[in-house]
Amino acid sequence: MDLILSAIDILMRWDVALALLAGSVGGVLIGAIPGVGPAVAIAILLPATFSMDPIVGLTVLLGIYGSSMYGGAIPAILINTPGTAVNALTTYDGYPMTARGEPRRALSLAYSASFFGGIFSVICLILFAPVLAKIAPMFGSREIFMAALLGLILVVVAHRGQALIAGALACFGIFLQTIGLEPVKYTQRYTFGQDFLGSGINLIVVVLGLFAISQAFVLLTDEDEKVRMTRLRGGMFQGLRELARHPRVAGVSATFGVLMGMVPGVGEFTAQFMSYTYAQKTSKRPQDFGHGSSEGLIAAETANNAVPAAAMVPLLALGIPGEALTAMMLSVFYVHNVVPGPGLFQNDMDFVVALYLALLILNVLVLLFLLFATRSLIQVVRIPNRFLGVCILTLSFVGVYSLRNSATDCVMAAAFGILGYVLKRLSLPAVPIILGMVLGGIMEVKLRAAMARVKEPFDFIDRPVAFILFLLIIIVLAVHILRVLKDQKELKEAEWQTKSSSTSFGSLMWRRRNSFLKDHGKRVRARHSKLLRRLTDLF
């Protein structure tokens, strides 16, 4: 009880309350605008948070992180366009409700499910905090190195079908982190005699380039779409009553969100997929899923909003971010000399509980705001893409320049913006680069510290926690390799069956397959040519 009272005292400051209100309302607005998303907003705000107290800066970022998914449901349901990437599954059942004249019901149900998922997650983690305080001291340099390595591997294998390129991008991020002065003997690495590389490549410059500036390029090069909005009638409280009729789906989905949020590199997509699949398989009306099922909408929205609070566990307990947004928050800790990890739970437990209480209050504020302001809020969907692109580009360069008053940083941010733009157009992930930079630095420091006590290779895993983490790494790699081999085997079997078919139908399907592959190759080459023309136009 004393711990909670101390955390409440931290949150009673006027600047913390203002930051919480601004973050929660601003996050909803950002989420409701298709094409922006929380990563862009957090990247732009990062330089400003460095001058704030840690609790104030983190409260603003947490507000945007936790509330953007609420706002992302609005365009997903009304115009079949997810406001944030994690709201893509919301369109499956949300938009069909709108199509049959039930937009108010769909929005109200999405808000209620998101609120339940967020509250459930925070309560679980407040109750779990004392356990974390006892487990955290078991992690030394070896254990944190193994945990960071496990997180990096999970991030790579989570990109199914793109694991190789994700691994290459993660290694590129690790390489970027090594540029400049190395952390022990302070010798120059990969600077090639260039003074501007002596201080290394700033993480915030890379973040703003890959996420904010690249998204501005996308918005500037895409054409504006005419949006036809659906008029809302009636109250918005219906979803709270309807959610109470599906406690099993909501409870299981929230549990999936909490569990998946605590695993680095997994996040909202896996939690949503597992929740949606469970809800469909256990439903009495599985045929309604994808056609306006209330259970499907509850599963998707509950799971994705249960993740943000859970994602703070590896960040706070071990100093290991599981995704790009928590990696950005980690930089706020470092700027203010607040080191996440075992010491944080031992010495500043009230600070940790204050962050969780902030998330609790955030969900209440967002729900009240949306229940009364949705009719006015939906107008932000009409903002033109190119106007947004100009605003994001301007704010991004202002933020980059304010870091060190360096024009060189602006040039580097623009270069990473072009790289991010190319990655977006090729549908390749940029997150592994950021996590490679963050986790690479952690792994290097902890490995050097651990090697002072290691005489033989097996000494590295001679402690229980380190050995368990090592086994998890082996299991994850083995499962991924088996899954890849299985996919290849199934593909070969399908090709063999098609080739061996002597029926006219089989021959026809084989010819169609070859024709499809040929046409697909032409489309890929045309897309690449179009991309090159757009890059040329940028210059």
Is residue 50, in this structure, part of any structural domain at all? yes
Is residue 271, in this structure, part of any structural domain at all? yes
For the cut 60, the answer to whether the pLDDT of residue 84 exceeds it is yes
Clarify whether residues 102 and 164 are in a common domain: yes
Clarify whether residues 505 and 430 are in a common domain: no
Domain count, the chain: 2
Clarify whether residues 378 and 520 are in a common domain: no
For the cut 90, the answer to whether the pLDDT of residue 172 exceeds it is yes
Residue 180 bridge partners (DSSP): 189
Clarify whether residues 438 and 320 are in a common domain: yes
What is the length of the chain? Answer: 539
∠ Cα 207 331 266 (to 5°): 70
How many angstroms from the chain centroid is the CA of residue 279? 23
Clarify whether residues 222 and 352 are in a common domain: yes
Clarify whether residues 129 and 55 are in a common domain: yes
pLDDT interval class at 96 (50, 70, 90): confident
pLDDT interval class at 151 (50, 70, 90): confident
Q: What is the percentage of the chain residues whose pLDDT exceeds 70?
A: 85
pTM, rounded to two decimals: 0.74
More confident residue, 220 or 452: 220
Domain end, chosen from 419, 438, 453, is at 453
Is residue 220, in this structure, part of any structural domain at all? yes
What secondary structure does DSSP assign to 241-285, as a single string? HHHTT-HHHHHHHHHHHHHHHTSTTTHHHHHHHHHHHHHHHH-S-
pLDDT score, position 322: 67
Domain end, chosen from 430, 453, 476, is at 453
Calculate mean pLDDT across residues 227-232.
Answer: 58
Is residue 275, in this structure, part of any structural domain at all? yes
More confident residue, 380 or 462: 462
Is residue 479, in this structure, part of any structural domain at all? no
pLDDT, tens digit (0-9, with 9 covering 90-100), for 389-432: 888 888 888 888 887 788 888 899 899 999 989 988 888 888 88
Give me the domain span that covers residue 510: 501-538
Domain end, chosen from 391, 419, 453, is at 453
Is residue 105, in this structure, part of any structural domain at all? yes
- Residue-wise burial string across 333-353, b where 16 or more C-beta atoms lie within 10 A, e elsewhere: bebbeeebbbebbeebbbbbb
Residue 189 bridge partners (DSSP): 180
Q: Where are the beta strands (DSSP E) in 122-222?
A: 180-181, 188-189
∠ Cα 244 366 92 (to 5°): 60
Clarify whether residues 120 and 265 are in a common domain: yes
Clarify whether residues 345 and 262 are in a common domain: yes
Clarify whether residues 98 and 227 are in a common domain: yes
pLDDT score, position 535: 45
pLDDT interval class at 501 (50, 70, 90): low
Clarify whether residues 229 and 352 are in a common domain: yes
Q: What is the percentage of the chain residues whose pLDDT exceeds 90?
A: 3
Clarify whether residues 374 and 225 are in a common domain: yes
Is residue 40, in this structure, part of any structural domain at all? yes
Is residue 210, in this structure, part of any structural domain at all? yes
For the cut 50, the answer to whether the pLDDT of residue 524 exceeds it is no
